[in-house]
Amino acid sequence: MGADHDHRGHRRLVRAGLLFGCCGVLLAGCASMPDSGNLKAVDASQRPDSQSQVRVYAMPPGDDAGPVEIVQGFLEALTSDDPQFAMARKYLTKEASKGWRPDVQTTVLADGPNAGSGSVGDHGENGRSFPLTGRKVATVDKQHAYQLDDDAYSETVHLVQRDGPGGKEWRIDRVPPGVVLGQSDFQRIYWSVNKYYFATRSSGAGGGADGGAGGQEGLVADPVYIRQRIDPVTETVKALLDGPTNWLNPVVDTRFLTGIRLKAGTKTLAPDDQGKLTVPLNEKADPVGQERCTEMAAQLLFTLQDLTSSGVKEVELQRRNGSQLCVLSEDRAESVAPARTADHPGYQYLIDDKQRLVRMPAGVGSKADPEPVEGKLGSGEQPLRAAAVSRDEERAAGVSLDGRSLYMGSLVSAGALGKPEVRSKAKSEEDGLSTPSWDGRGDLWVADRDPKRPRLLWLEQGAGEPLPVKISGLDGRIEAVRVSADGVRIALLVKKDGKTTLRIGRVERTGAKGEQPEISVVELRQAAPQMEEVTAMSWAGGSRLVVVGRESGGVQQMRYVQCDGSALAGATLPGLTGVKEIAASEDERQPLVAHSDDGIVRLPTGAQWQTVVKEGSSPVYPG
């Protein structure tokens, strides 16, 4: 077996690729196969149509394929739309195929796996070994959870010769765990989908798979990645039934009892012509009552509606014997489960050139000029530099012009402003209090950036004694705070050594019922790793944020990122000069609003930036 066999196999694969390529099908076997030396990285970015929506099919091993061709063919088969990786298994020995579990993890590399030249085994072993190397971007675990990982990747593929139908053939007998592929292939193959679970009121004090109905709050988005062309509806339902990801699990409950899964033998799920999806469950679901069942159905319905291609408008859950457990339509879903995000905002808010809190009607078509809000915060008596409006739009928290005081004011009456709720001892106006943030529970958060006493403060229902929040793993000073609508995640801009990065933490509340809880932020993780400097951010949906920043050596840009740290393909927004602040509504139909060199501007969907007012700052939506 030598280069001659490798060369003949390569010619066969190229001819097959050209034949099918004429039909518009992209074949993994079309990539070049070197006769000797190092293998090239497997990465869809090398293909001219890598982002097209055609299905990708792998090629089987060619007759008399040499070791180089077997390794290359296997790596390319991992990037195909093959449901069970059946074609990839053809490159493995029977024993290796039985032990290989592609679902255990997916390793995402920056440029795909690089394979060095094969080395002959020691002591006369009839085999070849190929090192696989690369730089990790992330891993996706068995729960489908995306986790950033920038370590080096180093594994080995080992091949042996075995007797086959046509004589001796090379096959892989030792394979790295799971699947490994390049970042562009990952973005082509996988979708980010939000699963939905109920937030627990205690948030960390007893949440789990069998959480009771008492204390449930709203629905929390739990982003996962699934293969978008391999029966996404069925895979998404299975992922939801498997329960929340490990990072989110301490602060959410699922209404599905432990052990509830799809009925044995269920191969695929698909809605009918009217958008109704029937989901048969196993015997663990048989005793479920009507209230719990409708909450289970709400989790399913909201999850599948986030899967935009599902077309699901109604869900029916069935017992193992085929009898109906319950039915839930999208019209009734909001009455069963609290809204996934904030209510649709009535207004957009900003600080005008007179340092007053003003508002303008929300919505793309609104042309009204900003007007002062009701109450003292709109009077100009207390000049403001920043503000946050409660999600019910009845109260606002305003930061004084010098950044040292936080006031609470009504937006529905003209009562007195009162004493500051929070004071900072910062000497510089550049330090002091950050823009506040309201969570979906009605609590207020603000960072005191006093260099001598930096802290994150929490005010229950926006009033009373501000409590310091414990933050595990914080390395740097908090510059900005945004809490998600569900109240269980917090986004922080953290500054250290002159650079500011975006971190996402989990909010946990502990303590006895009826007592003031102890609030802590745990397991901080990076959320915009591709950006060297992040200057502004805002939640823009259940699991998505819009961020302003720059990559290393680059210019300022705006883009959407997921709270798990993954970047959404094609998520860069139209350019804007000198963006200082950004605001997004968790109602994703609302336009972005920004403070830039052009003043206060907003970006309706599918349009360009439009100037609202020339002078102003601190644009915000409720929250």
Taking only the tens place, the pLDDT of each residue in 392-449 is: 999 999 999 999 999 999 999 888 888 999 999 999 988 999 999 999 889 999 999 9
Residue 195 lies in a domain: no
Q: Which of 336, 363, 385 is the last residue of a domain?
A: 336
Number of domains in the chain: 3
Taking only the tens place, the pLDDT of each residue in 5-56 is: 333 333 222 223 323 333 333 333 333 333 344 444 444 333 333 344 567 7
Higher-confidence residue of 251 and 553: namely 251
Q: Quick check: 291 pLDDT over 80?
A: yes
Identify whether residues 26 and 46 lie together within a single domain: yes
List of E strands, 165-282: 167-174, 179-182, 190-200, 216-227, 252-253, 276-280
- Where does residue 14 fall: left (phi above 0), alpha (psi -120 to 50 degrees), or beta otherwise? alpha
Residue 96 lies in a domain: yes
Residue 253 lies in a domain: yes
Identify whether residues 391 and 514 lie together within a single domain: yes
Other beta carbons within 10 Å of 309:
11
pLDDT band for 208, please (50, 70, 90 cuts): very low
Residue 462 lies in a domain: yes
pLDDT score recorded for residue 582: 97
Q: Which of 285, 304, 336 is the last residue of a domain?
A: 336
Q: Quick check: 89 pLDDT over 60?
A: yes
Identify whether residues 68 and 131 lie together within a single domain: yes
Identify whether residues 445 and 402 lie together within a single domain: yes
Identify whether residues 397 and 545 lie together within a single domain: yes
Taking only the tens place, the pLDDT of each residue in 218-247 is: 899 999 999 988 899 999 999 999 999 999
pLDDT score recorded for residue 398: 97
Q: Which of 131, 155, 189 is the last residue of a domain?
A: 189
Residue 342 lies in a domain: no
Residue 244 lies in a domain: yes
Mean pLDDT value across residues 365-392: 91
Identify whether residues 318 and 419 lie together within a single domain: no
Mean pLDDT value across residues 132-146: 96
Kindly give, in sequence order, each residue whose CB lies less than 8 Å from that of residue 441, ignoring residues fewer than 6 positions away. 217, 487
Identify whether residues 332 and 353 lie together within a single domain: no
pLDDT band for 209, please (50, 70, 90 cuts): very low
Residue 530: strand, helix, or coil: coil
Token pair of 247, please? Answer: 């990072």
Identify whether residues 22 and 122 lie together within a single domain: yes
Q: Please give the residue range of the domain that contains residue 497.
A: 347-620
Residue 530 lies in a domain: yes
pLDDT band for 468, please (50, 70, 90 cuts): very high
Please give the model's pTM, rounded to 2 decimal places: 0.86
Identify whether residues 413 and 506 lie together within a single domain: yes
In this structure, the strands spanning 314-318 and 276-280 are: parallel
Kindly give, in sequence order, each residue whose CB lies less than 8 Å from that of residue 203, ignoring residues fewer than 6 positions away. 250, 251, 487, 488, 507, 508, 509
CA dist., res. 174 & res. 518, Å (int): 50
Burial 246-274 (b: 16+ CB within 10 A, else e): ebbbbbbbbbbeeebbbbeeeeebebeee
Residue 399 lies in a domain: yes
Mean predicted lDDT score pLDDT of the chain: 86
DSSP state, residue 550: E
CA dist., res. 250 & res. 312, Å (int): 29
pLDDT band for 363, please (50, 70, 90 cuts): confident
* CATH number of the domain that residue 584 is part of: 2.120.10.30
- The residue whose two tokens read 């090379």 is 170
Identify whether residues 316 and 406 lie together within a single domain: no
Contact 17, 49 (CB under 8 A): no
Identify whether residues 178 and 230 lie together within a single domain: no
Q: Quick check: 321 pLDDT over 70?
A: yes
Identify whether residues 384 and 524 lie together within a single domain: yes
Q: How far out from the chain centre does Cα 396 lie?
A: 30
